[in-house]
Amino acid sequence: MKNHNTFDPSTCTIGIEFGSTQVKAVLIDDGYQPLASGKHTWESRLENGNWTYPIEDVWHSVQSCFSKLQKEVADKYGSPLHTVGAIGISAMMHGYLPFDKDDRLLTPFRTWRNTTTEKAASELTGLFGFNIPQRWTIAHLYQAMLNGEEHVKRIDRLDTLASYVHRSLTGSAVTGIGDASGIFPVDSDTLYYDRKMMDKFLPLAADMPWEFEKLLPTPLPAGKLAGTLTEKGARLLDPTGALQPGIPFCPPEGDAQTGMTATNAVSPRTGNVSAGTSIFSMIVLEKIPEHPHPEIDVVTTPDGKPVAMVHCSNCTSDMNAWVNILLQLLEMTGARADIDELYPALYRLSLKADADCGGVTVCNYMSGEHTTGFASGVPMVLRDPSKPMSLAEFTRAHLYSAMASLSLGMSILRAESVKVDKLVAHGGLFRTKGVGQRYLAAAMQTPVSVMETASVGGPYGMALLAAFMREKRTSLPDFLNYRVFADAESSVMYPNDDDVAGFNAYLDRFKKMLEVEKTAVEKM
């Protein structure tokens, strides 16, 4: 820890990320080490058939998160946080935030979790010859057009959550090239929206009073200055008035891109897996596959390289619900209940289970799952009644289910001969050493690395992108390889033959269970 005399906030950077369950901020120094952090828990709501977060929750959450960061800085270093060298904003990718000319939100925020744009996504995929997933911003816009929704003609600005927060803080209508690649397809050569596909879309919007291109935030690659904190923006972040305006901002990015940055996976043939409420893999491509696959998104790194993304909407939410049940049971019996101790205890217990989970199979679909063709979900547990069920097998089955849909998507990339030399995992699922990492190695059938910063994740990656903008003297891969991660500690786990066989047996049951899931969704 630095002493009070050496702490210089002007050399530090802050990354703020709006994740699906928490808003987090991380302050790092000029040696790229985390100094302080803050977080605030929030959750999405299902309202009128749409998953959403109220817009007022965005600002309440980030203010709470930032105030906790400020307090930790003051407690550690005896210095209030008036300024920093740079700030970056990150958030869940995709989604739909349409604003009118007076900057009023025209519909509740429609998040990535919604699977209500199937017709639009299908038509655009056929039109472009390029996979457009349901959660992409353009799919939401076109579906609203197909639905004849009244608000569409009044749109003046279309944002993702990251670009909205950034615009509110800086006044700059821009976003990072990676975040932009989840709004509308981008061209990795021009680092802009794909002009040919843009021209194909324009006739669909010919009767609209707006010019489509002007609705969208301008894409910027990593390293570019993306605006500075305004007086209004400073008060939005810090209502106490301590934070001063004028702080430079780097381009805002999606959570997929910050995960890539935090795991040093931005070069071709590298990849990462991020696991939390959702789970997704990002594999940096040598070339884009010739044929589009509905299970595979093509997005970009923060500096614009093409990336194959397998995104699964469901990961740990169902398991979290079961852990809360166990927590209630402990509290009811008067036992000391600490959720931060319960999770690692359960994870470690799962290692004692049979490799195939003893016949227990879990479908973790709290919502739809486009990777396997579900518009909505019903969580369920099935088990072989001829076998005893233990808590170890129950837990391991939940951990396997968190990776099962991703495994099915990744098998498509293997069939396309996509090469991966390095796969790095991060997110809360990997906080307990040697458990989630081990199961992922079996599911992906490839070695998996976890860095010491694995649980810091996205906000740390965003803080690194802010630092890259301040220091830019090289490429993003070189910055990460030779400056940030040159001496980084990480652990590697290789696939265990028994685990691979056990996971494959589980996956066979999981695929059969999806037929049951179809009936459950229909009937429930």
From CA 357, how far away is CA 350, in angstroms rounded? 9
Residue 111 lies in a domain: yes
309: CB partners within 8 A, 6+ apart = 256, 280, 281, 282, 283, 296, 297, 298, 299
Q: Say which amino acid occupies 352.
A: K
Look-up: residue for tokens 């390029």? 130
From CA 15, how far away is CA 37, in angstroms rounded? 10
Instruction: Write out 366-387 in H/E/C secondary structure.
Output: CCCEHHHCECCCCCEEEECCCC
126 and 200 in a single domain? The answer is yes
Residue 274 lies in a domain: no
Residue 88 lies in a domain: yes
* pLDDT of res. 292: 85
68 and 29 in a single domain? The answer is yes
Residue 283 lies in a domain: no
> Helices 458-471 and 255-262 meet at what angle, rounded to 10?
80
Residue 311 lies in a domain: no
From CA 442, how far away is CA 466, in angstroms rounded? 35
365 and 462 in a single domain? The answer is no
70 and 174 in a single domain? The answer is yes
Identify whether the C-beta of residue 164 lies closer than 8 Å to the C-beta of residue 172. Answer: no
381 and 466 in a single domain? The answer is no
Encoding tokens for residue 261? 């940055």
From CA 233, how far away is CA 231, in angstroms rounded? 5
* pLDDT of res. 151: 98
Look-up: residue for tokens 């800086």? 170
470 and 379 in a single domain? The answer is no
Identify whether the C-beta of residue 76 lies closer than 8 Å to the C-beta of residue 69. Answer: no
The range of the structural domain enclosing residue 250 comes to: 9-263+454-484
* pLDDT of res. 175: 98
> Would the CA dihedral through 138, 268, 478, 35 be positive or negative?
positive
From CA 30, how far away is CA 18, in angstroms rounded? 24
Identify whether the C-beta of residue 266 lies closer than 8 Å to the C-beta of residue 305. Answer: yes
480 and 503 in a single domain? The answer is no
Residue 162 lies in a domain: yes
63 and 151 in a single domain? The answer is yes
pLDDT in tens, 194-208: 999 999 999 999 999
384 and 243 in a single domain? The answer is no
* Vertex 352: Cα angle to 346 and 358 (nearest 5): 100
321 and 465 in a single domain? The answer is no
Closest CA to 26 of 41, 37, 40: 37
Q: Point out which residues pair with 383 in neighbouring strands.
A: 360
226 and 366 in a single domain? The answer is no
Long-range contacts of 204-207 (CB under 8 A, 24+ apart): 204/142, 204/145, 205/145
129 and 155 in a single domain? The answer is yes
155: CB partners within 8 A, 6+ apart = 98, 99, 100, 106, 141, 210, 215
Residue 22 lies in a domain: yes
From CA 290, how far away is CA 296, in angstroms rounded? 12
Residue 472 lies in a domain: yes
- Other CB atoms within 10 Å distance of the CB of residue 468: 26
Q: Say which amino acid occupies 217.
A: P
269: left (phi over 0), alpha (psi -120 to 50) or beta: left
Domains of the chain: total? 2
Find the CATH number of the domain harbouring 246. 3.30.420.40
From CA 192, how far away is CA 205, in angstroms rounded? 20
10-residue mean pLDDT profile of the chain (524 residues): values are: 64 96 95 95 91 96 97 92 97 96 97 91 96 95 98 98 98 98 96 98 97 98 98 97 97 94 92 88 89 89 95 93 94 88 96 97 93 92 94 98 96 88 87 94 93 73 97 92 88 95 98 96 91
* pLDDT of res. 1: 35
Query: If you ran DSSP here, which 8-state letter would residue 113 be given?
Result: T
* Vertex 376: Cα angle to 301 and 149 (nearest 5): 80
From CA 446, how far away is CA 419, in angstroms rounded? 11
